[in-house]
DNA sequence: CGCACGGTTGACACGACTCAATTGCTGTGG
DNA sequence: CCACAGCAATTGAGTCGTGTCAACCGTGCG
């Protein structure tokens, strides 16, 4: 991957939910960061930490993992800042853990505070980031609460694909899955054995393949249907009717002028 | 209840998570509001709404209820502002619904924006409000994901008690429960029939009574133990070791006399 | 007074869990 | 280069929690 340009990951992510000006992008280029590589199932932040910087995920996946039985409450993809709220209060309620190898850029809290003061636009974009984070949590509660395990797994995969595509990844509906089936099970609140059977069923239904640490969606429409996936809650700006066939080459703001 | 002092409810809530100065409280007194009464299972906000004001709950309970099977993703008590995030983006992903009768004060977005500009302290307090909202969502995911139904119900009740007490209500561990057992079931993602059996079990275990629309906790310690309840995630300032035996002696607005 | 709704109870079905054993893969050291 | 360790994936069998269905009761309200 393109090391050394951590800020572009953040820019991509912010652009996916808000329109940024040239000046905003210029501000982002000044982002100071310390880049760190983590291996599988590492703890990036412990519950007891009181960080003074945020984690910008550059590559791989992170999740909040609970102390107790290891329930995963949220998954993050490159461009996300899982702990952005620590800029306000550094108290953590879970461990920030890798799912597979991951690359993280640590960015001082003060940087986010500064750009918020300098650009109301960036301030709003960062607020939107936390709002969509909360929206995803609510969506996940709906999932755990009201859908059966096949739907849950399918929905999680749909969400990951949509979010990867929003930052320019997985355009061909293939993406690395360095996490284990047990990880997926923890996220979906099912047992590892059952998760395995669900995945087999998804394979049998010909909607995806999962081999050599890579997932390939073979029938996106069918998967979305199985999952009852309606990506509105992700707050992305340019979802096409066909659900994420976006081309990021074109100017970042086609229409999406709806008041937000 | 003391009508006409909607702002005191907000002041109580903000005080429970942040320290406010005299000036901050003075600013809050200027809060404009339109007070509205709702009956049971009313929709305060529809998914399709694009509100330009927030809902400050004064009395009763509200919840976000999903379109589909009516899964409840979050419950609110007096002093809460369930839709505070709409000040940034008015898009909703669920219906804001009453659980029993409720009284709501509608407060223009612009008021929150103004006080955020005038007082960094209030700005922070409002940010903390959304952060704890998200923390509760994560906690609820843990609940749905990793605990059995008895624990889930017990945990929800513990949380409600703790949050009521944080704003000066339910000090004697008794509080109105105008919601139905089905509502509780929707929140805990179990069937109404099963919810009923769980409640009976809680009664049998002598930890609470639930009659004539009132819940009375008879053994708070035992209930907390059953629930695995650790209230840190609520972000409250003054939790005593014994879990919420707080005395609000220093209360800046000691009004809130009557039951909610 | 009676209807409607919330609460209660029992019987039965099924999805998901656990336990346990086996296979397959990957990396590593002899 | 192979053997082995260790982990992930896979499979089967039996169990249990929770859901569904259906009936019944109690009570508040029109």
pLDDT at A37 > cutoff 80: yes
Q: Are A97 and A65 in contact (CB under 8 A)?
A: yes
Chain B environment of A94 (Cβ under 8 Å)? 138
pLDDT at B160 > cutoff 50: yes
> Tokens for A90?
């550094």
Average the pLDDT over B6-24 and give the result: 97
Chain B environment of A142 (Cβ under 8 Å)? 66, 68, 71, 73
DSSP bridge pairs for B35: B105
pLDDT at A251 > cutoff 60: no
Question: In this predicted structure, what is the pLDDT of residue B69?
Answer: 86
Nearest-neighbour CA in chain A from B69: distance (Å): 7
Q: Are A216 and A173 in contact (CB under 8 A)?
A: yes
Nearest-neighbour CA in chain B from A93: distance (Å): 6
Distance CA B233, CA B214 (A): 26
- Indicate which of A116, A146, A190, A260 best probes the interface with B, i.e. most B CBs within 10 Å of its own CB: A146
Kindly determine whether the C-beta of residue B150 is less than 7 Å away from any atom of nucleic acid strand D: yes
Average the pLDDT over A69-94 and give the result: 97
Question: In this predicted structure, what is the pLDDT of residue B246?
Answer: 38
Is the Cα torsion angle B47, B14, B130, B245 positive or negative in sign?
Answer: negative
Candidate from A64, A127, A144 with C-beta closest to B144: A144
Interface A–B counts its CB contacts (< 8 A) at 101
Q: In 3D, which of B65, B74, B81, B245 has the Cα closest to residue B156?
A: B74
Q: Are B8 and B2 in contact (CB under 8 A)?
A: yes
Question: In this predicted structure, what is the pLDDT of residue B219?
Answer: 97
Is the Cα torsion angle B61, B66, B67, B71 positive or negative in sign?
Answer: negative
Q: In 3D, which of B215, B61, B73, B88 has the Cα closest to residue B136?
A: B73
The distance from CA A136 to its chain's CA centroid, rounded to whole angstroms, is 10
Residue B256: pLDDT band with limits 50, 70, 90: very low
Interface contact flag, A130 B134, Cβ < 8 Å: yes
Candidate from B68, B85, B233 with C-beta closest to A134: B85
Average the pLDDT over B133-150 and give the result: 97
Which is higher by pLDDT, A254 or B224? Answer: B224
Question: In this predicted structure, what is the pLDDT of residue A93?
Answer: 94
Interface contact flag, B235 A259, Cβ < 8 Å: no
B36 CA, C1 C1': Å apart: 35
pLDDT at A234 > cutoff 90: yes
pLDDT at B36 > cutoff 80: yes
A183 in helix, strand or coil?
helix
Question: In this predicted structure, what is the pLDDT of residue A89?
Answer: 97
DSSP bridge pairs for A37: A103
Q: Indicate the DSSP class of residue A215.
A: E
Question: In this predicted structure, what is the pLDDT of residue A256?
Answer: 36
Distance CA B198, CA B42 (A): 27
Chain B contact for A36, CB < 8 A? Answer: no
Nearest-neighbour CA in chain A from B145: distance (Å): 5
Taking CA–CA distances from B235, the nearest residue in chain A reads: A91
Interface contact flag, A71 B145, Cβ < 8 Å: yes
Kindly determine whether the C-beta of residue B151 is less than 7 Å away from any atom of nucleic acid strand D: no
Interface contact flag, A146 B88, Cβ < 8 Å: no
B203 CA, D17 C1': Å apart: 20
Tens digit of pLDDT for each residue in A89-144? 999 999 999 999 999 999 999 999 999 999 999 999 999 999 999 999 999 999 99
**Who contacts A251 (Cβ-Cβ below 8 Å, separation ≥6)?**
none
Q: Strand D: which bases are under 7 Å from protein Cβ?
A: 7-13, 17-22, 28
Nearest-neighbour CA in chain A from B224: distance (Å): 16
Q: Are B104 and B36 in contact (CB under 8 A)?
A: yes
- Indicate which of B54, B65, B73, B75 best probes the interface with A, i.e. most A CBs within 10 Å of its own CB: B73
Question: In this predicted structure, what is the pLDDT of residue A152?
Answer: 98
Distance CA A62, CA A80 (A): 9
CA angle B48, B53, B58 (to 5 degrees): 105
**Which DSSP string do the residues of chain B spell out, in sequence order?**
--TT-HHHHHHHHHHHHS---HHHHHHHHT---EEEEE-TT-EEE-TT---SEEEEEEEEEEEEE-SSS--EEEEE-TT--TTGGGGT----SSEEEEEEEEEEEEEEHHHHHHHHHH-HHHHHHHHHHHHHHHHHHHHHHHHHHHS-HHHHHHHHHHHHHHHHHHTT--TTSEEE--S-HHHHHHHHTS-HHHHHHHHHHHHHTTSEEEETTEEEES-HHHHHHHHT--GGGG--S---TTTS----TT-TT----S--
CA angle B101, B105, B107 (to 5 degrees): 150
Q: Which nucleotide is nearest to B183 (CA to C1')?
A: C6
Chain B contact for A19, CB < 8 A? Answer: no
Kindly determine whether the C-beta of residue A39 is less than 7 Å away from any atom of nucleic acid strand D: no
């Amino acid at each position: 991957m393109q090391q050394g340009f951590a800020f572009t990951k953040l820019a991509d992510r912010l652009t996916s939910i808000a329109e940024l000006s040239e000046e905003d992008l210029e501000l982002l280029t000044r982002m100071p960061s310390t880049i760190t590589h983590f291996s599988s199932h590492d703890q990036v932040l412990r519950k007891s930490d009181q960080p003074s910087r945020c984690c910008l995920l550059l590559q791989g996946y992170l999740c909040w993992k609970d102390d107790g039985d290891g329930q995963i409450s949220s998954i993050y993809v490159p461009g996300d800042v899982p702990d952005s709220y620590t800029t306000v209060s550094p108290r953590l309620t879970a461990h920030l853990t890798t799912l597979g190898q991951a690359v993280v850029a640590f960015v001082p809290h003060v940087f986010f505070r500064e750009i918020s003061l300098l650009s109301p636009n960036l301030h709003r974009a960062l607020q939107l980031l936390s709002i969509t984070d909360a929206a995803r949590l609510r969506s996940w509660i709906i999932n755990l609460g009201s859908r059966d395990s096949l739907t849950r797994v399918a929905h999680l995969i749909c969400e990951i694909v949509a979010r990867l595509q929003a930052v320019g990844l997985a355009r061909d509906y293939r993406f690395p899955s360095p996490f284990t089936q047990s990880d997926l099970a923890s996220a979906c609140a099912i047992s590892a054995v059952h998760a395995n059977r669900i995945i087999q069923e998804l394979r049998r239904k010909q909607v995806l393949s999962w081999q050599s640490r890579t997932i390939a969606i073979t029938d996106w429409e069918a998967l979305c249907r199985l999952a009852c996936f309606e990506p509105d809650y992700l707050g992305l700006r340019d979802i096409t009717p066909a659900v994420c066939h976006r081309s990021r080459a074109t100017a970042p703001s086609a229409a999406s002028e709806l008041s937000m």
